[in-house]
Every structure is written in structure tokens, then in C-alpha cells.
Amino acid sequence: MKKKQKEPPVPIERHETVRQRIISILEGQTLSAKEISGSVSIPEKEVYEHLEHIRRTVNTRDANLVITPAECAKCGFVFRKRERLKKPGKCPLCRSEFIHEPLFLIKKTVMK
């Protein structure tokens, strides 16, 4: 893959695929799926599909998808064991539906 000289990451390049754009915006900032959805202009549902794929593939690229688990805003219950990335609908402890969304970040494992 060709790599250009250093360029500011902000203006998103048109030729990149959506998945590459998600990867590049998550390198260096922690975002919820909703925020990613706004940045790359795709529905939140599709963001989760890309994130599932990124989670499986990014580890081979000297990076990790770091997930901050969803958390109940009422009682503080943390959804640690959740295998699916999507925000849970309801807290199993207090039944509150006010859940903080999970957050995503891509962390490089190789330092330069």
C-alpha cells in the first residue's frame, strides 16, 4: 500500500474506504459509534458492522481495538462480558434504559 508523506489527518481523503476512514479517525481519539457515524456519514448500524470487522482484523496490523464497555448511568453496572459491540438496551441490575454507550479507540502496539 502506498503511503504519502505526513499529512494532517483531518480532511478525510475521498479514495479511502469507509473502514479505513473509521480506522484512521479512531487512531488517536476515543469515540462512540454515534460519533463515528457522524464523522463518516454512515448509519450507526453500519458503524457497528465495520467495528466488528475492525476488531477481528486490526490486531494483525500492530494495533488493538480498545473498547470501553457500556455502563449503566443509573447504578454504574459495567457491561464487561458483552461480546457484541452494540449498546445494550437495558441494565440487568436496575432495569434502567439509560446506558452510556461503549467507546472505541485504536491503539498502536508498536511504538516508534
- Footprint of Zn ion (CB under 5 A): 72, 74-75, 77, 91, 93-94, 96
Q: Which is nearer to Zn ion, 94 or 105 (CB)?
A: 94
> Considering the complex, what minimum distance in angstroms separates the CB of residue 81 from Zn ion?
15
Q: How far apart are CA 94 and CA 55, in angstroms?
A: 30
Q: Which is nearer to Zn ion, 47 or 72 (CB)?
A: 72
Comparing CA positions, the residue from 48, 62, 61 lying closest to residue 18 is 48
**Is there a contact between 85 and 46 (Cβ–Cβ < 8 Å)?**
no
Q: What angle do CA 25, 61, 70 make, to 5 degrees?
A: 50
Q: Which is nearer to Zn ion, 51 or 72 (CB)?
A: 72
**Is there a contact between 41 and 47 (Cβ–Cβ < 8 Å)?**
no
Tell me which H or E stretch contains 107: strand 103-108
> Considering the complex, what minimum distance in angstroms separates the CB of residue 89 from Zn ion?
12
> Considering the complex, what minimum distance in angstroms separates the CB of residue 68 from Zn ion?
17
Q: Which is nearer to Zn ion, 66 or 93 (CB)?
A: 93
> Considering the complex, what minimum distance in angstroms separates the CB of residue 66 from Zn ion?
23
